[in-house]
Amino acid sequence: MDEKSVKNPRMPQGQVSFLALGGIEDVTRNMYLYEYKNQILIVDCGLGFPDETMLGVDLLLPDISYLLEVIKKGKKIVGMVLTHGHEDHIGGLPFILPQLPSFPIYASALTAALSNDKLAEYHLPRSVKTVSFDDGDVRIGDFAVSFIRVTHSVPDSANFFIKTPAGNFFHGSDFKFDLSPADGKRTEFVKIMKSAEEGVLSLMSDCLGADRAGHTRSEEGLIQNFEREMHDCQGKFIITTYSSNVARLNQAIKAAESVNRKVCFVGRSIIKVKQLAQQMGYLQIRGGTEAQLSDVKRFKNSQLVLLVAGSQGQENSAMTRIANGEHKDIRIDPLDVVVFSSDTIPGNELTVNALIDAISKKGARAISGNGQEAFHVSGHGSSGDHMLLIALTKPKFLVPISGTYRNMVAYKTLAQKMGYNRSNTFLIDNGQQIDFSASTAKLGKKIDTKNIYVDEVSGEEVENFVIRDRERLAKEGVVIVMTEVKSSDGQLADKPVVIARGSSIQDTQNFSASLQAELEKNLALQKSRVTNWVHIRRVIGDTAERHIFKKFHIRPLVLPVVIEV
């Protein structure tokens, strides 16, 4: 099928199923599937960050169990397209791609560069192909994808117009309509309207700001606010933001240059983005402006602007280590000002608030929340932006994505105000399929999805039961029960030894004696030679857990150690 035939209208054929493996309700872990016949097109491959209850977990990933299952049954991934360079849209690539067969991946210039850098860091022999916004449709199997530039908080962000034999879809990932963006590259409204002319069966739209009134403000004016605050600041001026927010980095650099302050980049992720963006011409910094981290002590505090990674309070991030006094080169001083120039991702409120408290305890001034309005503009559209995209694309159906359920409900309300029936807007969960045909849409099968926890250092998945064990360890400690059991008849050979750590059990000697009586009673049924030591270990563990709860009303992690004698 050539490009010309794609543009010619024809009767839609077959059915396309849409499925989110991540990105619904929790905002992060964005990964969406479009399925036509035996072909699958993937949009985005993001990661998420754990909350305080997910002990020892570094990252969260989309659950690709369904993908692995259907590939075994003969379906084929024909390609992947990436909307923009934020971690919640590309961060899962090093962990997900090794589990999948090879297929082409496409992205705009900066998105491809950030993705390829990430893949190279993990020594993966995969690469993302660069697509220019001036290129025509990218043909991926029976799908044809048009890249449409939109404004967001990272350059080269794209929405996709996806053409299929069964109908056309507009994938409206993270966007806002800024008519005077910092980089001067506005949303391609003409392309959006041309998509509408070809017909849009469904709009899959970012909905994160759907509950905010009006339109999201422009980036214009932030530089002047930074300049004013830098001029008045008597100490270090510290800005923490998303590492990939190149427009914000440029604004901070320009403001620093205007008040003759040196700029230092702090944090591995922000340094990597700075280097990539500078090589590609996206980031401008005059010679002599940048100060290396090793040189900051040569300058007075009042001469410095620090651009620091870790605005979400991530554990071990540069901003967290600085706030906690654990950074070897930077410390917070009373005259410093710390600006949070980013939105708090839903779910990160506690960690961000703890970070702000730590900064405030050092005597510095932290600008966040309502106070940060002069120094931050959201990269997500508000209700007016969402209604405008609906009006421009004129879809038959609507599917809000990349937002909390509250945002999704707000989006559905906006659609009703614009005359859409309630039944034409689908509020779905991760794993809920929607089946589209020529002019209809209905809920399909529901696929079970689960949280995939990852240790970033090892790259290994962490199972749910491990998280539960960690929670029990943290709350009520661990009790080790060491028992010698005679292999001849399964009875105790000696008194059990009990070791308790982090629990309220103090007198382990007395407890050991009472536990011995319980164990002897429960092992009495075993009169023959032991052949199933797993069963013996389970009996001892279960007995110990029940006895501990009966005496102390606690549920520590119990580890039975059985020694055969």
Residue-wise pLDDT tens digits, 302-319: 999 999 999 998 878 999
* Residue 93: closest CA among 108, 69, 115: 115
Cβ atoms < 10 Å from Cβ of 203: 27
Domain with CATH 3.60.15.10 in the chain: 15-214+379-461
As a whole-number percent, the residues of the chain with pLDDT over 70 amount to: 92
The residue with greater pLDDT, 177 or 555, is 177
- pLDDT at residue 454, as a whole number: 67
Give the least confident one: 22-31, 104-113, 161-170, 407-416.
22-31
* pLDDT beyond 50 at 459: no
Return the CATH class of domain 463-564. alpha beta
pLDDT in tens, 33-50: 999 999 999 999 999 877
The residue with greater pLDDT, 465 or 451, is 451
* pLDDT beyond 70 at 60: yes
| Residue 525 C-alpha from the chain's centroid | 52
pLDDT in tens, 480-525: 888 998 888 888 988 898 888 877 787 788 888 889 888 888 888 7
pLDDT band at 470 (very low <50, low <70, confident <90, very high): low
Instruction: List Cβ neighbours of 65 (8 Å cut-off, separation of 6 or more).
Output: 448, 449, 450
- pLDDT at residue 552, as a whole number: 86
| Residue 301 C-alpha from the chain's centroid | 34
The residue with greater pLDDT, 141 or 219, is 141
- pLDDT at residue 456, as a whole number: 45
Q: Mean per-residue pLDDT for 448-469?
A: 58
Cβ atoms < 10 Å from Cβ of 455: 14
* Residue 551: closest CA among 494, 524, 522, 513: 513
- pLDDT at residue 478, as a whole number: 82
* pLDDT beyond 90 at 165: yes
- pLDDT at residue 53, as a whole number: 54
Q: Mean per-residue pLDDT for 455-482?
A: 60
- pLDDT at residue 1, as a whole number: 33
* Sheet of strand 59-61, all strands in order from the earlier edge strand to the far edge: 59-61, 452-454, 461-462
Q: Mean per-residue pLDDT for 522-536?
A: 79
Q: Are strands 461-462 and 452-454 parallel, antiparallel or unpaired?
A: antiparallel
Q: Mean per-residue pLDDT for 359-366?
A: 95
Contact status, residue 61 vs residue 96, Cβ threshold 8 Å: yes
| Residue 175 C-alpha from the chain's centroid | 17
Instruction: Give me the residue label for tokens 């210039």.
Output: 109
CA separation for the pair 100, 79 (Å, rounded): 11
* β-strand partners of 30: none
Q: Mean per-residue pLDDT for 263-283?
A: 95
Domain with CATH 3.10.20.580 in the chain: 463-564
Which H or E run includes 186?
none
Greatest Cα pair distance in the chain: 87
The residue with greater pLDDT, 114 or 459, is 114
* pLDDT beyond 50 at 253: yes
As a whole-number percent, the residues of the chain with pLDDT over 90 amount to: 66
* pLDDT beyond 90 at 533: no
pLDDT band at 10 (very low <50, low <70, confident <90, very high): low
HEC string for 311-327: CCCCCCCHHHHHHCCCC
Superfamily of domain 15-214+379-461: Ribonuclease Z/Hydroxyacylglutathione hydrolase-like (3.60.15.10)
CA separation for the pair 305, 113 (Å, rounded): 27
First to last CA, the chain: 74
pLDDT band at 31 (very low <50, low <70, confident <90, very high): very high
* pLDDT beyond 90 at 16: yes
- pLDDT at residue 9, as a whole number: 44
Return the CATH class of domain 222-374. alpha beta
Instruction: List Cβ neighbours of 260 (8 Å cut-off, separation of 6 or more).
Output: 303
* pLDDT beyond 50 at 461: no
